[in-house]
A and B are shown apart, each in its own frame.
Chain A
Amino acid sequence: DAMVIQNPRYQVTQFGKPVTLSCSQTLNHNVMYWYQQKSSQAPKLLFHYYDKDFNNEADTPDNFQSRRPNTSFCFLDIRSPGLGDAAMYLCATSGGYEQYFGPGTRLTVT
Chain B
Amino acid sequence: TQLLEQSPQFLSIQEGENLTVYCNSSSVFSSLQWYRQEPGEGPVLLVTVVTGGEVKKLKRLTFQFGDARKDSSLHITAAQPGDTGLYLCAGVPSPDKVIFGPGTSLSVIP
Contacts and interface: CB of A to CB of B under 8 A. Distances in A.
Interface of A: 4, 31, 40-43, 45, 48, 50, 90, 92, 94, 96-104, 106
B40 interface: yes
B48 interface: yes
Nearest to A102: B42
Contacts of A92: 42
Contacts of A102: 42
A98 B40 contact: no
Interface stretch (B53-61, B65-73, B88-96): B88-96
Interface residues of B, number: 21
A41 B41 contact: no
A102 B40 CA distance: 11
Contacts of B33: 97-98
B100 interface: yes
Contacts of B96: 31, 48, 50, 94
Contacts of B52: none
Given A40-B86, A103-B42, A96 B102 contact: no
